[in-house]
Homo-oligomer: A and B are copies of this chain.
């Protein structure tokens, strides 16, 4: 969005400008100043810092209007005005195209692609760690959802008489393991048969499909296997049971404490709660997987009350086939949206690239 303004930088000529657009510029200046300095700017200072000539008094009028429309609030009479969540929303919505990611940031994120060959979890944790370091806020990333990823391979390993170690490898490159307890003492050979049966049968199917279809599929194949069948059904059901809820890595929580906006005791407590009980943030990350691009949740827009003073910037990452999870930043509503958004976007892109390259299809 380009705003045309006549007479800028020209003291003498006062160009005609649409009031609306002018107040937008003022609003943006206020927001940007607040983002930078974390304290309200006065009409006088603003008048000086703004690009074109406008007296403090005029700016006061504009500010007054903006306050009336809900873009600004005063904490008390005669205090500077501070942007509301509505203002931030306007700001990000009307944001000119995201700026290019600075070379410096790209460089600092480059280690993400240097951890190829390591488990996906390591890549994620590397990425979220770097992102936290760069943004100086708290960052989160969700691990790939098991349900959507497709099976690459299953292994059943006999551990003891009554325990079998199940290893699931998904196309996305995620390895999950669990132990299942069985009553019968199967031989390793028998398990190998079941293993190859399950692999043949279910390779390339999503976990969800497998779980839903495990009965039908096996039943229809009845003629090929005999005593194997009953056991395979049982083992298979157990093996594919969803055991792990979505996980989430958090990094840089402490960063938030250094941020001036969270110095008040009450909001610190809120944040602790929000991170303690991870569900709310997890939900936002999940939501973010449904659509492409960067998602922005500003303060009060968040359903969860403890996050009302935070903004979340999230973006999903994927391999060639599926959206796997998402990564995001949790910071104060007055964060520097411009740079954070592009940094998150870039990180997600890097992540997708790295993971795709070592995905198994």
Contact = CB atoms under 8 A, between A and B. Distances in A.
Given A118-B178, A157-B153, A253-B253, A258 B272 contact: yes
A122 interface: yes
Interface string A168-195: 0100010111111100000000000000
24 contacts: A116-B179, A117-B178, A117-B180, A118-B178, A118-B244, A119-B176, A119-B177, A153-B157, A155-B155, A155-B157, A157-B169, A160-B360, A165-B169, A167-B167, A169-B177, A179-B358, A253-B253, A254-B271, A254-B272, A254-B276, A255-B272, A257-B257, A257-B268, A258-B272
Nearest to A180: B117
A275 B163 CA distance: 38
Nearest to A174: B177
A243 interface: yes
Nearest to A273: B254
Number of this chain's copies in the complex: 2
A269 interface: yes
Contact size class for A?
A: 35 or more
Contacts of A175: 165, 167, 175, 177
A22 B258 CA distance: 45
A149 interface: no
A152 interface: yes
A159 B167 CA distance: 15
B243 A272 contact: no
A122 B143 CA distance: 14
Contacts of A167: 155, 167, 169, 175
Given A118-B178, A178-B117, A178-B118, A163 B358 contact: yes
Q: A-B pairs with the 6 shortest C-beta distances?
A: A175-B177, A254-B272, A117-B179, A159-B360, A119-B177, A153-B157
B165 A159 contact: no
A347 to B, nearest CB: 19
